[in-house]
Structure 1
């Protein structure tokens, strides 16, 4: 498996495809690491370590210089130690940016935000240490270049870590896929409640067979062979045929977005929708595109409702509607359950709550669950005409007026 990946270091699309296949078969992909990664992908039992040469922005000469410095001086202790020891002829700002975004310095203990802010200082530090080594100056109290580098390292700025979305975006930019998480993970429960398909459901993650000339990623004897396109297995193809023509609702991240124009001058879009399990081609014809309200952009989280088509054993989703997850929740929520402790149910809070319900009138029923002494739970249904639109703003106001309350949204499709 690692050898197959290493054969395609310069082909990000194929690397991503093989990684998705490996993950579907239970193989964990470990992030790149300046102290543990080699040039190519490295097998570690049921895991594979990402190779440095597969990081975008790193040339082969840079990777070889990193490995040579590590071999000569042992593991890198810090960003500044790294900058001081790696050949400055191949080390520049872009290289450090790529390594940090890819998470290759994470094991050193510093936050990516701190490292990124210190890039210029690290390069200056490395250049200065290089000049000192050339003229034999090791510092007033140090006995070696390594000692001086360690003693005089500037402190990292005290910065909060990048938000998860920014860290994941950096991984996608430099590695072609997400390593430490996925943008959809935080929405997993909502997506499961409000959509009815995933690429795993449609395409069967791991349920593929390679063409006759292709290497099998799970077969050690096939390592080293170059894979070609995947085709569905008989069971996967049967599933696709059964689903063809059906309308589905699926959530994912927009990637590889291409905007085109018909002969009549109408704009339409083609993109790849990615979720945690795989990807699906989506076509958005002009009428639907005109209603998308600018939602289509790379890396955007969208919900697509459309008809699944099967042509030459390949699945394509013809979009009929593009929504945000919040829009879908607002539309499909049939009941809002508000659970609160009895002590929070004061006349003033009740008045404020009814003000919220009045401002955000909608179609979802409201049910109150009051936690009373002795573990007694009292359920109260207000006037049947009291209904709400469960927008983020409405739910935020409810939480503000009923501190500590829990809110559950019930989809009408499910009990």
Structure 2
């Protein structure tokens, strides 16, 4: 943005010099019109450049991890990259396989945990509901007991579980979770 303003100020100075040159001698009708157009343009640019200070945009962190965390917190999605592009993942199925809803089928899926909600049931056992996100989409997941303790927003995980259908939509019931990295 600063380069843009510097260039406009240079253009403005050139225009002002042209106006002074035109005003120094006699003008015909065509030159008078050109002078009026240039005066109008100078007035517009003067007003534009005299406006309140330009907004300062925050500098993006160089560290990809910090940048992705910031994008997720502010926008709720990633723009510059995805955490899964920066982690060595084991071979596994995708969230698309879960969404296809093969009930009773065991799957191993790698992804990023988001929207984690860990709670305690009335009986005192721990459970967690979360969204598993990979490069192909998202799927809802649920975990119980010790597995629920490992559910943390932003964690890159590989989960193993069975697809169950709840309210006509498939949910991955996680029985095993391995945290690969925390973002």
- Asked whether the two chains share a fold, i.e. TM above 0.5, the reply is yes
Change (3 A) 1:201 1:268: closer
Q: Deviations over 1:351-375 (max 9, x none)?
A: xxxxxxxxxxxxxxxxxxxxxxxxx
Q: TM-score, normalised by structure 1?
A: 0.30
Which ranges of structure 1 fall in alignment gaps of 5 or more residues?
1-34, 36-71, 75-81, 87-95, 101-110, 114-160, 204-238, 327-415
Q: What does 1:7-406 align with in structure 2 at a 5 Å threshold?
A: 73=48, 84-86=53-55, 100=58, 111-113=59-61, 161=62, 163-187=63-87, 190-191=88-89, 194-203=90-99, 239-240=100-101, 243-289=102-148, 292=149, 295-325=150-180
Give the root-mean-square deviation of aligned CA atoms.
2.7
Shift of 1:249: 0.7
Mapped partners of 2:131, 2:176: distance in 1: 15
Match of 2:147, SS state, is: helix
Q: TM-score, normalised by structure 2?
A: 0.64
Aligned 8 A contact 2:118 2:151 in 1: no
Mapped partners of 1:265, 1:167: distance in 2: 38
Equivalenced residues, count: 135
Greater share of residues in strand: 2
Structure showing greater Rg? 2
Q: Which runs of 4+ in 1 moved over 4 A?
A: none
Higher relative contact order (CA 8 A, sep 6+): 2
Q: Deviations over 1:58-111 (max 9, x none)?
A: xxxxxxxxxxxxxx748xxxxxxx98235xxxxxxxxx6xx53xxxxxxxxxx5
Change (3 A) 1:312 1:181: same
Shift of 1:166: 0.8
Change (3 A) 1:258 1:83: farther
Match of 2:117, SS state, is: strand
What's the counterpart of residue 12 of structure 2? none
Which ranges of structure 2 fall in alignment gaps of 5 or more residues?
5-46
